[in-house]
Every structure is written in C-alpha cells, then in structure tokens.
A and B are shown apart, each in its own frame.
Chain A
C-alpha cells in the first residue's frame, strides 16, 4: 500500500491542530483528524480540554496588555528620563 490515507496523526500534530483551533485557524479536515485522534488518545484529550479552558478564561477575564509599539515608546521616554536623572 503505497498511498496511505493519513487519517491517524501523531500526538504532536494533534496538539498543533488543537493550538491552531484555539485561534480559529484549523480547517475542517484538520479538525476531523483531531477529533479522530482525541477518540483514541487520552493524553491529548486532557491537553485539548485544558487548552480550551485557557482560551475561555482569557476571553472571560478581558485581560489586556500594551502593544509592542506602545512599550517601545514608553521605554524610550523612560530611558530619556533615566539619563537626565543621572546627569
């Protein structure tokens, strides 16, 4: 059998699809493969569950953070202030 249908995937691939699907970036074929894998793999089921909880928690908490550009500007201002303080 030279042409094998790749329906059974290894754990690292399953986890990768799981990560992608947290950002809605997994396509339907990938999702199907993940579902099949989860049916036979307990460790990945656990990872999947926690991963989903993490996504939900972050959405629910409305955590926020600064953009890298903002931080860059703040850093420059603070450096400037540090310099004037030292002089």
Chain B
C-alpha cells in the first residue's frame, strides 16, 4: 500500500471546506467553526511527525478536528449548571413533570432528517473534492455561497460565458457523482 504523504501547504485548498462543513454541522456557528478548522491545521502542523501515512491526510486531520470539537464543548460546559438541561415553567398551570415530555415526539422528524442531510452534505463534499480545483471553487461560490455572477467573474478574472461553461461542467460532474447514491 502506498504511504500517504503530508503537504501542509495544500491543506487549505484541499480540506478546509470539507472540515468546515464537518464542523458547522456540529457547532452551528461559522466563526467558531472557522477557528476550530484553523486550530486543527495548526495542531496538525505541530504533530506532523506523528503522521504515519497509514490513513489519508484528510482522515488524519478529521481525527484531530474531532478532538478539537470535543474540547470546544468541554470548554463551554466547564461552568457547572450550564451543561444541565432545564425546562422552565413560569406559571403554576403548566408546572410539573409531564409524562408527555419524556417520550419521543412521533411527529419530530428533524433528528432523522438532519442525520440524512449531514450524510448528503458529506457526499456532496466528497464529490466536490473530485472536481478540478477551479471548477470546484466556481461551483461553490455560485451554488453554496450564492455569490452574484459578476462578483465571481471579478474575483477570478473570468468572463460570464466562461463562468457558465465551468458551471455546466461542474454540474454535469456533480450530478454524475451523486447519481449513484442520492438521486
């Protein structure tokens, strides 16, 4: 099996978006997520010599990121009492321990849905990482960040028709890639 090598100078281009998406589904805050991803890169840099090349770079970085996310939750929960879940009742009418509240709400499908959506999100990022770099970045700016065509054209110094050709190629490749499992 070929050994995986480590190239920190390409980390941001290759993995930043994947790791960021991974984090944001778990912490729900863009700024915190960005900080955690950057912390992960720094930590990776520090422990580069521990990278044995058995797993891929991305898997290795994800394992660091997981620890960073746990640390983050430990930190915000370190003040006792904040970690407890408390239901507040302010009037005597609703006060008490209601049995209805202890069972799962059969109409609450959000947990399952969000789990499926996280998986779909991972699949999308996996497909994105197979695209050529330029296609991926144009597609992300247009489709995920919802940038205006003009803004993208200015930033990347391309014409509008150029952009649409890139978008078309990216969309075709993305649809092909997702088709097997998701469509």
Contacts and interface: CB of A to CB of B under 8 A. Distances in A.
B149 interface: yes
DSSP class of A's interface residues: helix, strand, loop or mixed?
Answer: helix
B117 A61 contact: yes
Contacts of A53: 175, 178, 182-183
A78 B143 contact: no
Interface residues of B, number: 45
Interface in B110-157: 117-118, 120-121, 124-125, 137, 140-145, 149, 155
A56 to B, nearest CB: 10
Contact of B120 (A16, A19, A57): A57
A71 B12 contact: yes
Contact of B121 (A54, A63, A67, A78): A63
A23 interface: yes
A50 B24 contact: no
Interface stretch (B15-23, B54-62, B71-79, B85-93): B15-23
Contacts of B12: 71, 74-75, 78
Interface of B: 8-9, 11-13, 16-17, 20-21, 24-25, 30, 34, 37-38, 41-42, 45-46, 117-118, 120-121, 124-125, 137, 140-145, 149, 155, 164, 167-168, 171-172, 174-175, 178-179, 182-183
